[in-house]
Copies of this chain bind each other. A is one copy, B any other.
Protein backbone atom coordinates (compact mmCIF):
# COMPACT_ATOMS: atom_id res chain seq x y z
CA UNK A 1 0.00 0.00 0.00
CA UNK A 2 1.42 3.33 -1.00
CA UNK A 3 1.56 5.97 1.66
CA UNK A 4 -0.20 8.98 0.28
CA UNK A 5 1.86 12.11 0.24
CA UNK A 6 0.93 14.52 2.96
CA UNK A 7 -0.25 18.00 2.31
CA UNK A 8 2.63 20.26 3.22
CA UNK A 9 3.27 23.87 3.72
CA UNK A 10 4.77 23.83 0.25
CA UNK A 11 1.48 22.79 -1.33
CA UNK A 12 -0.21 25.61 0.46
CA UNK A 13 2.43 28.04 -0.76
CA UNK A 14 1.92 26.98 -4.35
CA UNK A 15 -1.85 27.11 -4.00
CA UNK A 16 -1.69 30.59 -2.57
CA UNK A 17 0.99 31.72 -4.98
CA UNK A 18 3.44 32.73 -2.27
CA UNK A 19 6.71 31.45 -0.87
CA UNK A 20 6.61 28.84 1.82
CA UNK A 21 8.21 31.14 4.36
CA UNK A 22 5.16 33.31 4.15
CA UNK A 23 2.86 30.44 4.90
CA UNK A 24 4.88 29.57 7.94
CA UNK A 25 4.70 33.14 9.14
CA UNK A 26 0.97 33.30 8.71
CA UNK A 27 0.48 30.10 10.62
CA UNK A 28 2.73 30.97 13.50
CA UNK A 29 1.41 34.52 13.63
CA UNK A 30 4.91 35.68 14.28
CA UNK A 31 6.13 38.20 11.77
CA UNK A 32 3.88 40.72 10.09
CA UNK A 33 2.28 39.75 6.84
CA UNK A 34 0.26 41.99 4.57
CA UNK A 35 -3.45 41.37 5.30
CA UNK A 36 -4.35 40.38 1.75
CA UNK A 37 -1.44 37.97 1.44
CA UNK A 38 -2.40 36.54 4.76
CA UNK A 39 -5.95 36.13 3.56
CA UNK A 40 -4.85 34.27 0.44
CA UNK A 41 -2.78 31.89 2.53
CA UNK A 42 -5.57 31.22 4.96
CA UNK A 43 -7.92 30.44 2.12
CA UNK A 44 -5.45 28.03 0.61
CA UNK A 45 -5.01 26.34 3.97
CA UNK A 46 -8.74 26.01 4.26
CA UNK A 47 -9.16 24.73 0.71
CA UNK A 48 -6.50 22.09 1.13
CA UNK A 49 -7.47 21.19 4.66
CA UNK A 50 -3.89 21.66 5.69
CA UNK A 51 -2.69 21.11 9.26
CA UNK A 52 0.97 21.41 10.13
CA UNK A 53 2.81 18.28 11.16
CA UNK A 54 3.61 18.38 14.82
CA UNK A 55 6.58 16.14 14.26
CA UNK A 56 8.17 18.52 11.81
CA UNK A 57 7.35 21.51 13.96
CA UNK A 58 8.85 19.77 16.91
CA UNK A 59 12.04 18.99 15.09
CA UNK A 60 12.46 22.46 13.74
CA UNK A 61 11.50 24.33 16.88
CA UNK A 62 13.30 22.05 19.26
CA UNK A 63 10.21 21.54 21.36
CA UNK A 64 7.45 19.08 21.11
CA UNK A 65 4.52 20.91 22.59
CA UNK A 66 4.00 17.79 24.65
CA UNK A 67 4.26 17.03 28.33
CA UNK A 68 4.95 13.67 29.87
CA UNK A 69 2.97 12.49 32.86
CA UNK A 70 3.78 9.61 35.16
CA UNK A 71 0.68 8.46 37.02
CA UNK A 72 0.62 5.63 39.50
CA UNK A 73 -2.36 3.32 39.52
CA UNK A 74 -4.74 4.73 37.00
CA UNK A 75 -7.57 3.33 38.94
CA UNK A 76 -7.16 5.45 42.03
CA UNK A 77 -9.56 8.32 41.97
CA UNK A 78 -7.25 10.80 43.64
CA UNK A 79 -4.49 10.42 41.07
CA UNK A 80 -6.98 10.69 38.31
CA UNK A 81 -8.29 13.88 39.70
CA UNK A 82 -4.79 15.30 39.56
CA UNK A 83 -4.43 14.04 36.03
CA UNK A 84 -7.69 15.69 35.16
CA UNK A 85 -6.35 19.03 36.31
CA UNK A 86 -3.18 18.45 34.35
CA UNK A 87 -5.13 17.65 31.25
CA UNK A 88 -7.36 20.66 31.38
CA UNK A 89 -4.53 23.02 31.99
CA UNK A 90 -2.31 21.47 29.34
CA UNK A 91 -5.08 21.81 26.83
CA UNK A 92 -5.47 25.50 27.42
CA UNK A 93 -1.75 25.90 26.80
CA UNK A 94 -2.07 23.87 23.61
CA UNK A 95 0.06 21.09 25.00
CA UNK A 96 -0.58 17.41 24.49
CA UNK A 97 0.00 14.81 27.14
CA UNK A 98 1.88 11.57 26.92
CA UNK A 99 0.68 9.52 29.81
CA UNK A 100 2.25 6.54 31.48
CA UNK A 101 0.62 4.42 34.10
CA UNK A 102 3.15 3.11 36.54
CA UNK A 103 2.27 0.19 38.72
CA UNK A 104 5.69 -1.17 39.44
CA UNK A 105 8.94 0.31 40.56
CA UNK A 106 11.00 -0.52 37.49
CA UNK A 107 8.31 0.90 35.28
CA UNK A 108 8.69 4.26 36.91
CA UNK A 109 12.40 4.38 36.26
CA UNK A 110 12.14 3.10 32.72
CA UNK A 111 9.43 5.55 31.79
CA UNK A 112 11.19 8.41 33.41
CA UNK A 113 14.36 7.64 31.57
CA UNK A 114 12.59 7.13 28.29
CA UNK A 115 10.61 10.33 28.44
CA UNK A 116 13.53 12.34 29.67
CA UNK A 117 15.96 11.22 27.05
CA UNK A 118 14.14 10.68 23.81
CA UNK A 119 13.20 14.32 23.56
CA UNK A 120 9.62 13.57 22.87
CA UNK A 121 8.33 15.70 25.70
CA UNK A 122 9.36 19.16 26.77
CA UNK A 123 8.91 18.42 30.43
CA UNK A 124 7.69 15.86 32.86
CA UNK A 125 5.07 15.80 35.58
CA UNK A 126 5.47 13.13 38.17
CA UNK A 127 2.46 12.30 40.27
CA UNK A 128 2.80 10.77 43.70
CA UNK A 129 5.75 8.51 43.16
CA UNK A 130 8.03 7.75 46.01
CA UNK A 131 10.60 10.36 46.80
CA UNK A 132 13.71 8.21 46.68
CA UNK A 133 12.71 6.54 43.47
CA UNK A 134 12.23 9.71 41.51
CA UNK A 135 15.06 11.62 43.03
CA UNK A 136 17.40 8.89 41.95
CA UNK A 137 16.11 8.89 38.39
CA UNK A 138 16.09 12.65 38.23
CA UNK A 139 19.68 12.91 39.32
CA UNK A 140 20.70 11.61 35.91
CA UNK A 141 19.18 14.49 34.03
CA UNK A 142 19.20 17.53 36.21
CA UNK A 143 18.65 19.90 33.32
CA UNK A 144 15.35 18.39 32.27
CA UNK A 145 12.27 20.28 33.43
CA UNK A 146 10.41 18.20 35.96
CA UNK A 147 7.77 18.99 38.52
CA UNK A 148 6.42 16.64 41.12
CA UNK A 149 2.83 16.63 42.28
CA UNK A 150 2.31 15.19 45.71
CA UNK A 151 5.86 13.92 45.65
CA UNK A 152 9.01 15.69 46.60
CA UNK A 153 11.90 15.54 44.16
CA UNK A 154 15.32 16.65 45.26
CA UNK A 155 16.34 19.57 43.10
CA UNK A 156 13.07 19.87 41.20
CA UNK A 157 9.97 21.84 42.00
CA UNK A 158 7.15 20.10 43.81
CA UNK A 159 3.52 20.80 44.52
CA UNK A 160 2.40 19.26 47.74
CA UNK A 161 -0.80 19.04 49.72
CA UNK A 162 -0.36 20.50 53.17
CA UNK A 163 -1.13 17.36 55.10
CA UNK A 164 -0.27 18.96 58.40
CA UNK A 165 -2.98 21.48 57.82
CA UNK A 166 -5.36 18.84 56.50
CA UNK A 167 -5.10 16.71 59.58
CA UNK A 168 -5.16 19.77 61.76
CA UNK A 169 -8.50 20.75 60.26
CA UNK A 170 -9.98 17.33 60.88
CA UNK A 171 -8.81 17.07 64.46
CA UNK A 172 -9.73 20.64 65.30
CA UNK A 173 -13.18 19.90 63.96
CA UNK A 174 -13.46 16.88 66.26
CA UNK A 175 -12.19 18.82 69.22
CA UNK A 176 -14.70 21.58 68.62
CA UNK A 177 -17.44 18.97 68.62
CA UNK A 178 -16.43 18.34 72.19
CA UNK A 179 -14.36 15.21 71.78
CA UNK A 180 -11.75 14.86 74.49
CA UNK A 181 -10.12 11.64 73.44
CA UNK A 182 -9.18 11.59 69.80
CA UNK A 183 -7.28 8.73 68.25
CA UNK A 184 -5.11 9.04 65.16
CA UNK A 185 -5.00 6.20 62.67
CA UNK A 186 -2.09 7.12 60.46
CA UNK A 187 -0.68 5.23 57.51
CA UNK A 188 2.38 4.35 55.54
CA UNK A 189 3.16 6.55 52.59
CA UNK A 190 1.82 4.05 50.11
CA UNK A 191 0.88 0.40 50.01
CA UNK A 192 4.38 -0.71 49.17
CA UNK A 193 6.32 1.55 51.48
CA UNK A 194 7.28 1.62 55.10
CA UNK A 195 7.76 5.34 55.14
CA UNK A 196 5.47 7.47 57.26
CA UNK A 197 5.28 11.16 56.69
CA UNK A 198 5.33 13.14 59.90
CA UNK A 199 3.07 15.86 58.65
CA UNK A 200 -0.26 14.46 59.64
CA UNK A 201 0.98 13.65 63.10
CA UNK A 202 2.14 17.22 63.51
CA UNK A 203 -1.26 18.50 62.49
CA UNK A 204 -2.89 16.12 64.90
CA UNK A 205 -0.72 17.17 67.82
CA UNK A 206 -1.10 20.83 67.04
CA UNK A 207 -4.88 20.63 67.04
CA UNK A 208 -4.90 18.61 70.23
CA UNK A 209 -2.63 21.03 71.99
CA UNK A 210 -4.65 24.02 70.94
CA UNK A 211 -7.72 22.33 72.39
CA UNK A 212 -5.84 21.50 75.55
CA UNK A 213 -6.15 17.77 75.01
CA UNK A 214 -3.60 15.25 76.08
CA UNK A 215 -2.13 13.15 73.31
CA UNK A 216 -1.13 9.78 74.72
CA UNK A 217 1.20 7.88 72.47
CA UNK A 218 -1.11 4.92 72.54
CA UNK A 219 -3.74 6.94 70.72
CA UNK A 220 -1.49 7.34 67.69
CA UNK A 221 -1.18 4.26 65.58
CA UNK A 222 0.24 3.63 62.16
CA UNK A 223 -1.29 0.96 59.96
CA UNK A 224 -1.32 -0.34 56.49
CA UNK A 225 -3.06 1.83 53.90
CA UNK A 226 -6.17 -0.34 53.61
CA UNK A 227 -9.59 -1.05 55.05
CA UNK A 228 -8.14 -3.88 57.04
CA UNK A 229 -5.49 -1.62 58.49
CA UNK A 230 -8.09 0.86 59.67
CA UNK A 231 -10.34 -1.87 60.95
CA UNK A 232 -7.83 -3.57 63.19
CA UNK A 233 -6.39 -0.30 64.45
CA UNK A 234 -9.85 0.90 65.43
CA UNK A 235 -10.56 -2.38 67.16
CA UNK A 236 -7.46 -2.03 69.23
CA UNK A 237 -8.17 1.57 70.13
CA UNK A 238 -11.80 0.96 71.02
CA UNK A 239 -10.98 -1.93 73.30
CA UNK A 240 -8.80 0.22 75.52
CA UNK A 241 -9.90 1.04 79.02
CA UNK A 242 -10.25 4.65 77.98
CA UNK A 243 -11.34 4.34 74.37
CA UNK A 244 -11.26 7.40 72.17
CA UNK A 245 -14.61 8.91 71.23
CA UNK A 246 -13.29 10.05 67.89
CA UNK A 247 -10.94 8.58 65.31
CA UNK A 248 -9.09 10.70 62.78
CA UNK A 249 -7.86 8.53 59.93
CA UNK A 250 -5.18 9.22 57.35
CA UNK A 251 -7.26 7.89 54.47
CA UNK A 252 -10.85 7.20 53.61
CA UNK A 253 -10.32 3.50 53.17
CA UNK A 254 -8.91 3.21 56.64
CA UNK A 255 -11.78 5.29 57.94
CA UNK A 256 -14.25 2.94 56.34
CA UNK A 257 -12.54 0.03 58.01
CA UNK A 258 -12.69 1.92 61.27
CA UNK A 259 -16.41 2.58 60.83
CA UNK A 260 -16.94 -1.10 60.44
CA UNK A 261 -15.05 -1.77 63.66
CA UNK A 262 -17.23 0.77 65.45
CA UNK A 263 -20.39 -0.91 64.25
CA UNK A 264 -19.14 -4.38 65.08
CA UNK A 265 -18.70 -3.19 68.61
CA UNK A 266 -22.36 -2.30 68.74
CA UNK A 267 -21.69 1.42 68.62
CA UNK A 268 -23.06 3.92 66.16
CA UNK A 269 -20.78 5.95 63.95
CA UNK A 270 -21.32 9.60 64.57
CA UNK A 271 -23.51 9.18 67.62
CA UNK A 272 -21.12 7.14 69.72
CA UNK A 273 -17.84 7.40 67.92
CA UNK A 274 -16.99 10.04 65.36
CA UNK A 275 -14.75 9.12 62.46
CA UNK A 276 -12.99 11.25 59.88
CA UNK A 277 -11.21 10.18 56.73
CA UNK A 278 -8.85 11.76 54.27
CA UNK A 279 -9.04 12.31 50.50
CA UNK A 280 -12.78 12.34 49.88
CA UNK A 281 -13.06 9.37 47.61
CA UNK A 282 -16.37 8.56 45.96
CA UNK A 283 -17.30 6.09 48.64
CA UNK A 284 -16.89 8.71 51.34
CA UNK A 285 -19.92 10.60 50.21
CA UNK A 286 -21.92 7.44 49.98
CA UNK A 287 -21.21 6.39 53.54
CA UNK A 288 -21.48 9.92 54.91
CA UNK A 289 -17.88 10.14 55.97
CA UNK A 290 -16.51 13.46 57.16
CA UNK A 291 -13.22 13.85 55.40
CA UNK A 292 -10.48 16.13 54.15
CA UNK A 293 -10.41 16.99 50.51
CA UNK A 294 -7.11 17.69 48.81
CA UNK A 295 -7.33 20.11 45.88
CA UNK A 296 -6.08 17.50 43.47
CA UNK A 297 -7.16 19.06 40.21
CA UNK A 298 -5.76 22.42 41.26
CA UNK A 299 -2.38 20.89 41.93
CA UNK A 300 -2.41 19.22 38.54
CA UNK A 301 -3.26 22.45 36.80
CA UNK A 302 -0.60 24.34 38.71
CA UNK A 303 2.00 21.78 37.77
CA UNK A 304 1.43 22.51 34.12
CA UNK A 305 1.68 26.25 34.56
CA UNK A 306 4.86 25.87 36.51
CA UNK A 307 6.42 23.64 33.91
CA UNK A 308 5.54 25.96 31.09
CA UNK A 309 6.95 28.89 32.99
CA UNK A 310 10.16 26.96 33.24
CA UNK A 311 10.27 26.52 29.47
CA UNK A 312 10.35 30.23 28.96
CA UNK A 313 13.33 30.34 31.24
CA UNK A 314 11.71 31.41 34.46
CA UNK A 315 12.83 29.19 37.31
CA UNK A 316 10.20 28.63 40.01
CA UNK A 317 10.37 31.01 42.95
CA UNK A 318 10.01 28.32 45.53
CA UNK A 319 10.78 24.70 45.00
CA UNK A 320 7.92 23.56 47.17
CA UNK A 321 4.41 24.91 46.91
CA UNK A 322 1.80 23.85 49.40
CA UNK A 323 -1.88 23.43 48.70
CA UNK A 324 -4.39 23.69 51.51
CA UNK A 325 -6.91 20.91 51.86
CA UNK A 326 -10.36 21.65 53.16
CA UNK A 327 -12.73 19.89 55.47
CA UNK A 328 -15.87 18.21 54.16
CA UNK A 329 -18.28 17.63 57.01
CA UNK A 330 -20.72 14.76 56.79
CA UNK A 331 -22.62 12.56 59.22
CA UNK A 332 -19.76 10.50 60.59
CA UNK A 333 -18.69 13.27 62.93
CA UNK A 334 -21.08 14.66 65.50
CA UNK A 335 -21.14 16.32 68.86
CA UNK A 336 -19.52 14.24 71.52
CA UNK A 337 -22.39 12.29 73.06
CA UNK A 338 -23.30 11.30 76.61
CA UNK A 339 -22.09 7.75 76.46
CA UNK A 340 -18.39 7.83 76.97
CA UNK A 341 -17.97 4.18 77.83
CA UNK A 342 -15.30 3.97 80.48
Q: Are B99 and A97 in contact (CB under 8 A)?
A: yes
**Contact indicator A75/B75 (Cβ below 8 Å):** no
Cβ-closest chain B residue relative to A101: B87
A228-284 with Cβ < 8 A to chain B: 256, 282-283
A117 interface residue per 8 A CB criterion: yes
Task: Report the Cα distance A302→B298, complex, angstroms.
Answer: 34
A84 interface neighbour in B75, B114, B286, Cβ under 8 Å: B75
Choose among A3, A51, A55, A83 the residue with the greatest number of B CB atoms under 10 Å from its CB.
A55
Which residues of the partner chain B approach A119 to less than 8 Å between Cβ atoms?
Answer: 6, 51, 53-55
C-alpha gap A6/B54 in the complex (Å): 19
Q: Are B117 and A100 touching (Cβ within 8 A)?
A: no
Decide if B81 touches A143 in the complex (CB within 8 Å): no
Chain A contacts to B: CB under 8 angstroms: 1, 3-4, 6, 49, 51-56, 58-59, 62, 64, 66, 74-75, 77, 80-81, 83-84, 87-88, 91, 96-101, 114, 117-120, 143, 256, 282-283, 286, 313
- Tell me which residues across on chain B come within 8 A of A286, comparing CB atoms: 256, 283, 286
- Can you list 17 A-B contacts (CB < 8 A)? A49-B117, A51-B114, A52-B118, A53-B118, A54-B118, A55-B64, A55-B119, A55-B120, A66-B98, A74-B80, A75-B77, A75-B80, A75-B84, A77-B77, A87-B100, A97-B98, A283-B283
Q: Are A101 and B84 in contact (CB under 8 A)?
A: yes
Chain B positions within 8 Å of A4 at CB level: 143
Are B51 and A59 in contact (CB-based, < 8 A)?
Answer: no
In the bound complex, how far is the Cα of B120 from the Cα of A98, in angstroms?
Answer: 11
User: How far apart are the CA atoms of A26 and B286 in the complex, in Å?
Assistant: 57
A59 to B53, CA, bound (A): 9
A75 & B66 in contact (Cβ 8 Å cutoff): no
Contacts of A84 on B, CB cut-off 8 Å? 74-75, 101
Q: A97-B99, A99-B99 are in contact. Are A62 and B3 (CB under 8 A)?
A: yes
- Of B1, B62, B74, B87, the residue contacting A83 (CB under 8 A) is B74
A49 partner residues in chain B, CB cutoff 8 A: 117
Contact indicator A59/B62 (Cβ below 8 Å): no
Note all chain B residues with C-beta closer than 8 A to A52: 118
How close is A73's CB to chain B, nearest CB, in angstroms? 9
> Are the C-beta atoms of B97 and A74 separated by less than 8 Å?
no
